[in-house]
Structure 1
Amino acid sequence: MVRADMGFLADDEMHGRGSATRDEHIAALFAASQFQALGLEPGGDNGTFIQKTALPNPLPERVQQHLSHFENTPRKETWNAIAILRGTSEANETVLLTAHLDHLGIGPAANGDNIYNGADDDASGTTAVLALAHILAAGKRPARTIVFALFGSEEIGGFGNRAFLAHPPVPLKSIIANLEFEMIGRPDPAVPEDTLWLTGYKRTNLGPELARHGAHLVADPHPAQHFFRRSDNYALAQQGIIAQTVSSFGLHKDYHQPSDELSKIDFNHMDRAIASMVEPIQWLAGTNWKPAWEPRQQPAPEK
């Protein structure tokens, strides 16, 4: 399943899943079809698994400058894929599992290749959320609700995430934790083998508690990169939600390059990484324990 999903999302035929393009839409429909087949509850628009939102017109100047280097294609809408596994006794509390669907699309060529496939960034995270949806949907229904959300347009400013926050499928105050999966396709030599790291590890007690329940999670070994602020989790954290990113990005040189391809993915690492999170997430969705911010560690709301 992991290889098949990665093979589809990071294939050249997906043209790098450019933000707010036809290919991002196809990726969202691909995820939605899996959610539907699992019998999950739709969390998108009008009883569907897709949440669509219009982009600002015109786009911010910095976004326009960024996109000027890439394929000239209409960028008018973005799409999220959202599904709900409704809980039993604590259904009014939610665990949110997320990743982003999009990458950079078609852009400047490097070594004759102009497709920015985004295998690690973030087909790997999208695949992880889909795999977790399969596993969790097939198991005993959890006490807490689990929402699976795959965001569009993270690469150009988190517009899919903004749409989710504006029109959430569950009340935002019901979300007790968000785990964003970002770039888990390759191991990070800075941490022990088969280990993932969590951004903002010392900001909350979530990471240490998941680790106590079997998660192979340690603190982010690259604090100078400010990764806590660089994924869709951050906008949720600004809303007060405990929201952190699971990753194993080792600062490889294929980041945001056409060379971020399927051939570079370590599937044994990915399989073990995803498997290591299953029981800790099942525990989190089945307990009445709630994570909390450490003193003065919650980010300020966006102004």
Structure 2
Amino acid sequence: MLMSFRMTFGAAALLTLSTCLLDAQTPQTALEQEVRADMNFLASDALDGRGSATRDEHIAAQYAASVFQGLGLQPGSNGSYLQKAPVELPERAKTRIEQKLAPADRFETWNAVAILPGTDAKLKSEVILLTAHLDHLGLAKTPVNGDAIYNGADDDASGTTAVLNLARYLAHGKPPKRTVVFALFGTEELGGFGARAFLAHPPVPITDIVANLEFEMIGRPDSAVPEGTLWLTGFERSSLGPELAKHGAHLVQDPHPKEQFFMRSDNYGLALEGIIAHTVSSFGLHTDYHQVTDELTTIDFKHMTAAIASMEGPVQWLINTNWKPAWNPGGKPEKKQ
């Protein structure tokens, strides 16, 4: 009996201690643990670089879908959290992918899509879209120093992780007035096929999307801007960036205009449809871009965690306000005739 009491008392004490330790965690510490967990999976060698239109990209999409489902979000593609779409690839890309897949009649990509419904009678029909891309470059034909895996830790496991953690933050908060759609796109690296599939079969009318924030390459700071700062592609094109900055977002103008980053991510296809769409980033033109050296060891987790946390409040404001962004004169991109 005494031994049983001691064991019970000890277990209770251990449980109390564990609870106290969890309660003592700061929100920043808890967020960093989630960030590290997501990154450790998405940028691991086990996913062989999440090559576009491969089984590994599919696994990454399934991981994101499981997070969305676990949060109680609504599925965003005909009752599923996964949106599958055919991909027509150039022959050189097919050759690379066939190293990993059995022969197939067509190649496919996968998006992970989920919805957090709005609750306001008037604003629930308006949508804020939060996005990133799941895929990277897969396997190199020729290893570099024995490494053939393009892990894509910064590009774009970091952006995918940002969207997953914003989903966690918003799902656990007060129900939003506007509807939020979370979309993680496949096959961006081969031409934005996932984003195209999303636009062809959107979970909500395209005209209902008030704004899109794409997250790409936020895993390392950019020395071209002040410490703790993110930049927004096309900042000068619309009123979205300046207004978010007024509400606490650490956003400034893209310091690399010659790179034309506004037109180099999935936000651009959305912008061509008239959606106010920009990319949040802190890519400082590091030399690991599209190299096998874009590894977890290069990620600045303190910066990345702070970057995600800095966007929580501004995004929460955006999904609850009736304010709408607009294109500035000459800012809206036009489709080529």
Deviation at 1:301, TM superposition (A): 2.1
Amino acid at match of 1:283: W
Q: How many residues align?
A: 297
What is the root-mean-square deviation in Å for CA atoms of aligned residues? Answer: 1.2
Q: Which residue of 2 aligns with 1:49?
A: 81
Deviation at 1:110, TM superposition (A): 1.5
Deviation at 1:88, TM superposition (A): 1.0
Residue 125 of structure 2 aligns to a residue whose secondary structure is: strand
Aligned with residue 61 of structure 2, among 28, 38, 63: 28
Task: Measure the CA separation in 2 of the matches of 1:187 and 1:169.
Answer: 34
- Are residue 106 (structure 1) and residue 106 (structure 2) matched? no
Residue 126 of structure 2 aligns to a residue whose secondary structure is: strand
Gapped regions of structure 1 (runs ≥ 5): none
Amino acid at match of 2:250: H
Deviation at 1:55, TM superposition (A): 1.1
TM-score, scaled relative to structure 1: 0.96
Task: Measure the CA separation in 2 of the matches of 1:302 and 1:49.
Answer: 33
Deviations 1:64-85 (A, max 9, x none): 3356567733471000000000
Deviation at 1:223, TM superposition (A): 0.4
Q: How does 1:59-208 map to 2 (within 5 A)?
A: 59-60=89-90, 64-65=91-92, 72-74=99-101, 76-89=107-120, 90-107=123-140, 108-208=142-242
**Ranges of 4+ aligned residues in structure 1 off by more than 3 Å:** 64-71
* Residues 54, 97 of structure 2: 8 Å contact kept: no
Task: Measure the CA separation in 2 of the matches of 1:222 and 1:72.
Answer: 36
Residue 83 of structure 1 aligns to a residue whose secondary structure is: strand
* Residues 238, 302 of structure 1: 8 Å contact kept: no
Deviations 1:223-269 (A, max 9, x none): 00000000000000000000000000000000000000000000000
TM-score, scaled relative to structure 2: 0.86
Residue 47 of structure 1 aligns to a residue whose secondary structure is: coil
Deviations 1:83-111 (A, max 9, x none): 00000111100000000000000013212
Higher helix share: 2
Residue 123 of structure 1 aligns to a residue whose secondary structure is: helix
Q: Which residue of 2 aligns with 1:241?
A: 275
Amino acid at match of 1:120: D
Residue 164 of structure 1 aligns to a residue whose secondary structure is: helix
Identity among equivalent pairs (%): 68
Deviation at 1:33, TM superposition (A): 0.3
Amino acid at match of 1:47: G
Q: Which residue of 2 aligns with 1:290?
A: 324
Residues 6 and 88 of structure 1: is their aligned pair in 2 closer, same or farther, counting only changes over 3 Å? same
Deviations 1:180-223 (A, max 9, x none): 00000000000011100000000001000000000000000000
